[in-house]
Amino acid sequence: MITTNRSGGRVHRMHPADLAVTELRTTGSDQFEAKVRLPSTHRFYRPVDQRHDPLLLVESVRETGLLVAYTAYEVPHDVAFMVHDLVFKVDPAGLRVRGKKPVDIQVTISADEIRRRRQNYAGMRFEFTCVRDGRPFGHGAYRWSCFSPDAYAKVRAAHQNAVPAVSDECVPLQPKSVGRREEIDVMLAESPDGTGWRLRVDPAHPELFDHPTDHVPGNGVIEAIRQAALLAAGRPDALPVAVDIAFHHYVEFDRPAFVHAEKHADETVTVRVTQGERTALVADIGLLIGKHPPE
Is residue 42 over pLDDT 60? yes
Is residue 18 over pLDDT 90? no
Cα 224 to Cα 46, 62, 257, 271: the distances in Å are: 16, 18, 11, 10
| Exposure of 61 in the CB half-sphere (CA atoms within 13 A) | 29
**CATH of region 8-152:** 3.10.129.10
Q: Which residues have CB under 8 Å from 125's CB, separation 6+?
A: 111, 112, 113, 141, 142, 143, 144
CB 65 within 8 A of CB 126: yes
Predicted model pTM: 0.91
The pLDDT-based confidence of 109 (bands split at 50, 70, 90) is: very high
How many other CB atoms are there within 10 angstroms of residue 214's CB atom? Answer: 17
What is the structure's pLDDT at 206? 87
Question: 8-152 and 175-288: same fold?
Answer: yes
* pLDDT tens sequence across 127-138: 999 999 999 999
What distance, in Å, lies between the first and last C-alpha atoms of the chain?
49
CA dihedral (178, 181, 182, 188) in degrees, to 10, reads: 0
Of the listed ranges 1-5, 40-44, 150-154, 183-187, the least confidently predicted one is 1-5
Does CATH number 3.30.200.20 belong to domain 175-288? no
- Which residues make beta-bridge pairs with 260? 272
Question: Would you kindly state where each structural domain of the chain is located, as residue ranges?
Answer: 8-152, 175-288
CA distance 38 to 54: 11
CA distance 180 to 50: 16
CA distance 279 to 257: 10
